[in-house]
Amino acid sequence: MSTENSNRITGLEICSYALLSMVILIGIVLSFVNEDYFVSVYVVEDGILEYLTAVLLFIIGAVSLRRIVLYRHLQKFMFLCTNGAIVLLMFFGAGEEISWGQRIFDIESTDYFLAYNRQGELNLHNMSLNGVNMNALIFGRALTIFLIIYYLILPSIYRRKQRFRGFADSLYVPIPKIHHGIGILVAGLAIRMIESGKSNELKELAIAMFLLLTVVCAQNLSRITEVKS
């Protein structure tokens, strides 16, 4: 498949972009015209956006798990490792997003989490250890660097450098399309228009949406799902 064809936009991507645009636009408008509703309802903890983010992350993990099951008999080590890592990361992310079902199942936090978690929840991303905010360090700075490299740099390198294409494909790493990078950049800039400081749920939803599109509609999808015996 040519690099031109591999970067074509699909119907799923069009629908996803439209849905995400609508969600972000509603958030921006609400943040200006009714900030109380925006904060207390639209982006509230355990609200619809948070659960939708968790669902998207779970779907990504399920897609990769399905690929493992389909091709397990071929025993391609790197294929199993890469997809296995995606499964673990996405299921972990989904669990963190809903604090591992703490409020769903009405689970009490232990003394350790009450002491070291900034919100007293059963999750790691809100932990504060030795004065270090884990959310800002790992899920903030580190995640931002990853997104810049993965969505804004790698797609172009993959398209232009044949040697890198071969390397990425040999690791079965899904590479974002060019318009995925443009889309996540535009979404990030749009969300920055929200001045209330309560835009994290929108950011996380946008990231989850683009990760799903990358795994399902990767630039190199035909290569990373074509496992030969």
Nearest CA among 89, 68, 87 for reference residue 227: 68
Asked if the structure places residue 229 within a domain, the reply is no
Query: Is residue 191 assigned to a domain?
Result: yes
CA contacts within 13 A on the Cβ side of 160:
6
Task: Name 157's Cβ contacts closer than 8 Å, sequence gap at least 6.
Answer: 164
pLDDT of residue 3: 55
Q: 175: which residues sit within 8 A by CB, 6+ positions away? A: 154, 155, 158, 168, 214, 218, 219, 220
Q: b/e string for 129-140 if b means 16 or more Cβ within 10 A? A: eeeeebbeeebe
Q: Quote the pTM value.
A: 0.90
Q: Residue 144 sits in which domain range?
A: 3-224
As a whole number of angstroms, the distance between CA 55 and CA 95 comes to 10
Q: Residue 126: inside a domain, yes or no? A: yes
130 in a domain, yes or no? yes
List alpha helices for 1-106, DSSP H: 3-6, 11-33, 35-37, 48-71, 77-97
* pLDDT at 113 (0 to 100): 80
Q: Tell me the pLDDT tens digit for each residue of 173-189.
A: 999 999 999 999 999 99
Burial of 39 (0-12, 13-18, 19+ CB in 10 A): middle
| CA nearest to 98, candidates 65, 125, 118 | 125
Domain assignment present for residue 47? The answer is yes
Encode pLDDT of 82-140 as tens digits. 999 999 999 999 998 888 787 777 778 878 787 877 777 888 777 877 777 766 666 67
In this predicted structure, the answer to whether residue 60 has a pLDDT above a threshold of 80 is yes
**Number of structural domains the chain divides into:** 1
Q: Please report whether residue 101 resides in a domain.
A: yes
What is the token pair recorded at 86?
Answer: 């995606």
- Angle between the 178-191 and 11-33 helix axes, to the nearest 10 degrees? 10
SS3 133: strand
Mark 176-209 as b/e (b = at least 16 C-beta within 10 Å). bbbbbbebbeebbebbeebeeebbbbbbbbbbbb
Residue with tokens 């949406």: 209
Least confident of 18-22, 92-96, 196-200: 196-200
